[in-house]
């Protein structure tokens, strides 16, 4: 981005116009940088750790096309000098993209000026690009991103740091280099007014303002784009945290289920070995299904089949004391639901609702579509129930926050609530209704997901990919 001056033939630009131009340049730099930062394509290209030459060319084009137009406007429109930001743009590309890309961009920015007779522009842009690109390779990338346009603060930090522990400061070096090259180009524009365009003044304080403005114009895009970079890093950290949390929940559910099932088999090994054998066979079927590569979301029919295997084990264990009723709507079978969703709820109904009851009871599974297109699942038992006041009212409402305590039948129920919150956020609802001595009903309301759709776009897709990785690792193990 360059601190330009009008056509060389106009002669000395008035100091008042120079100062106004410097202020407008700051606004132009901020406007162009902010506009580019709104483009997802630009952000993706800018923040790539490694780019192909095609991607580098695309990024150079996105930066230079609007600024080349600005050079053309400066050449064609009298006194509209702030549109020419080619000097600072060349430095910026050198620092971020390297000397080769910066020289290409600098050459493109020079074309309107060369066409207008300012023949020195091409050579100067190439030299500035080579110097800035070389310095950019020498300076750490974090130091480039943290370069501050606030010169007074940079100098203050430099002084305070060196008073405590003297050291070479690359940022101050960069600030001085930009200002020094700006002064050199100003002198070149003053010496060859018809062959090179740059703001210059005979007044030393105005010339000082010109040299001080250049680092600020370079720093403004860096600050704006660095804010985008930090936001992208925060999103990545949030995604990784979500993956880790979901992975931890899945790892907790599987051992919890296995532990309780093995306990059931252990209780029958001596008293009813044939039943124990049958349960082991069915458990083997369940483990085989678990060790298969499983997606984070599966059709409800597949989840229901997995649940049937678990219920078969429990029916063998309890015999006639356990009755299972299914009220499944046909249109719900193709809906996508989180895998391993129903089994912890059924386990809680049996273990905490029916098992303490002498006569056993009934577990009822229901599914139906709501009028708004969401899927409603219910797991209900007629067991001993629980005291909702003591348990804290247990519901996860549309706000995505819990109202009440952490009760609800142990680890399995808490994991289901957490998984719903992680995977759907505020789009899902979990409600628990229980009356002591009359049973408990857990209602899940899930948003509709089409095949291949993830709950929150790329994050959901990343979670599915992570789920597949975990499954493959379990299979190899």
* Number of alpha carbons in the 13 Å side-chain half-sphere of residue 425: 7
pLDDT at 185: 93
The larger pLDDT score, comparing residue 158 to residue 37, is at 37
pLDDT band at 404 (very low <50, low <70, confident <90, very high): very low
CA distances from 317 to 13, 263, 267, 289, 446 (A): 95, 11, 9, 21, 32
pLDDT at 343: 80
CA distances from 473 to 287, 289, 346, 466 (A): 15, 15, 28, 11
Find, among 365, 266, 358, 380, the residue nearest to 317 by Cα: 266
Indicate if the pLDDT at residue 403 is higher than 50: no
Indicate if the pLDDT at residue 286 is higher than 60: yes
pLDDT band at 151 (very low <50, low <70, confident <90, very high): low
Question: Which residues on adjacent β-strands are paired with residue 433?
Answer: 441
Find, among 225, 184, 210, 222, the residue nearest to 82 by Cα: 210
Convert the pLDDT of each residue in 10-32 to its tens digit.
334 588 888 899 999 999 999 99
pLDDT at 395: 41
Q: Phi/psi class of residue 102: alpha, beta or left (left: φ > 0; alpha: ψ in -120 to 50)?
A: alpha
* Residues of the chain above pLDDT 90, percent: 35
Looking at mean pLDDT, say which of 102-111, 152-161, 281-290 comes out highest: 102-111
Distance CA 12, CA 358 (A): 102
pLDDT at 465: 54
Q: Confirm whether pTM is higher than 0.95.
A: no
Q: Is the dihedral of CA 372, 377, 383, 388 positive or negative?
A: negative
DSSP type of residue 14: P
pLDDT mean over 444-462:
59
pLDDT at 401: 32
Q: What is the DSSP string of 351-415?
A: IIIITTSTT-EEEEEEEEE-TTS-EEEEEEE-S----HHHHT--EE-TTSSEES-S-SSSHHHHH
Q: What are the respective helix, strand and coil percentages of the chain, to the nearest 5?
A: 65, 10, 25
Question: Which residues on adjacent β-strands are paired with residue 443?
Answer: 378, 431
CA distances from 68 to 91, 108, 263, 348, 393 (A): 15, 7, 75, 68, 64
pLDDT band at 298 (very low <50, low <70, confident <90, very high): confident
H or E element that contains 299 = strand 297-299
Phi then psi for 441, rounded to 5 degrees? -130, 125
Mean pLDDT lowest among 15-19, 275-279, 332-336: 275-279
Indicate if the pLDDT at residue 259 is higher than 90: no
- Enumerate the H helices of 5-52 as residue ranges: 15-37, 40-46
pLDDT mean over 251-257:
60
Cβ-contact 67, 8 below 8 angstroms: no
Average pLDDT across the chain, whole number: 79
* 1 C-beta neighbours (distance < 10 Å), count: 27
Tell me the domains of the chain and their CATH numbers.
8-235 (no CATH), 267-476 (3.30.565.10)
pLDDT band at 266 (very low <50, low <70, confident <90, very high): confident
Distance CA 346, CA 317 (A): 14
């Amino acid at each position: 981005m360059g601190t330009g001056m009008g056509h060389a033939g106009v002669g000395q630009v008035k100091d008042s116009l120079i100062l106004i131009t410097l202020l407008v340049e700051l606004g132009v730099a901020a406007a162009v940088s902010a506009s580019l930062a709104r483009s997802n394509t630009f952000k993706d290209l800018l923040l790539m750790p490694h780019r192909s030459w095609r991607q580098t060319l695309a990024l150079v084009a996105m930066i230079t096309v609007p600024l080349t137009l600005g050079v053309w406007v400066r050449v064609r429109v009298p006194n509209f000098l702030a549109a020419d930001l080619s000097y600072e743009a060349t430095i910026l590309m050198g620092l971020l993209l390297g000397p080769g890309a910066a020289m290409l961009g600098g050459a493109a920015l020079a074309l309107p000026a060369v066409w207008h007779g300012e023949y020195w522009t091409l050579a100067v842009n190439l030299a500035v690009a080579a110097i800035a690109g070389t310095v950019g390779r020498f300076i750490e990338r974090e130091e480039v991103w943290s370069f501050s346009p606030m010169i007074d603060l940079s100098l203050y930090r430099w002084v305070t740091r060196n008073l405590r522990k003297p050291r070479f400061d690359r940022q101050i070096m960069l600030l001085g280099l930009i200002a020094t090259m700006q002064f050199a180009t100003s002198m070149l524009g003053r010496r060859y007014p018809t062959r090179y365009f740059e703001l210059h003044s005979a007044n030393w304080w105005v010339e000082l303002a010109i040299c001080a403005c250049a680092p600020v114009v370079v720093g403004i895009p860096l600050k704006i784009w660095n804010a985008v970079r930090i936001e992208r890093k925060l999103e990545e950290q949030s995604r990784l945290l979500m993956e880790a949390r979901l992975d931890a929940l899945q790892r907790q559910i599987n051992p919890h289920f296995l532990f309780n099932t093995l306990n059931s088999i252990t209780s029958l090994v001596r008293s009813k070995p044939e039943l124990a054998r049958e349960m082991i066979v069915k458990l083997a079927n369940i483990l085989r299904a678990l060790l298969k590569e499983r997606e984070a979301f599966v059709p409800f029919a597949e989840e229901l089949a997995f649940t049937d295997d678990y219920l078969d084990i429990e029916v063998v264990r309890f015999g006639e004391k356990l009755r299972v009723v299914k009220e499944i709507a046909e249109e719900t079978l193709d809906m996508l639901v989180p895998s391993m969703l129903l089994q912890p709820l059924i386990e809680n109904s049996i273990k905490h609702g029916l098992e303490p009851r002498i006569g056993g009871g009934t577990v009822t599974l229901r599914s139906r579509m709501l009028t708004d297109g969401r899927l409603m699942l219910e797991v209900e038992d007629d067991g001993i129930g629980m005291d909702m006041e003591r348990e804290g009212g247990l519901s996860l409402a549309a706000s995505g926050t819990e109202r009440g305590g952490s009760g609800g039948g142990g680890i399995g129920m808490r994991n289901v609530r957490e998984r719903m919150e992680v995977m759907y956020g505020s789009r899902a609802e979990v409600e628990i209704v229980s009356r002591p001595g009359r049973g408990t009903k857990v209602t899940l309301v899930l948003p509709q997901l089409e095949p291949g759709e993830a709950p929150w776009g790329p994050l959901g897709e990343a979670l599915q990919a992570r789920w597949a990785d975990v499954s493959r690792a379990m299979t190899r193990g």
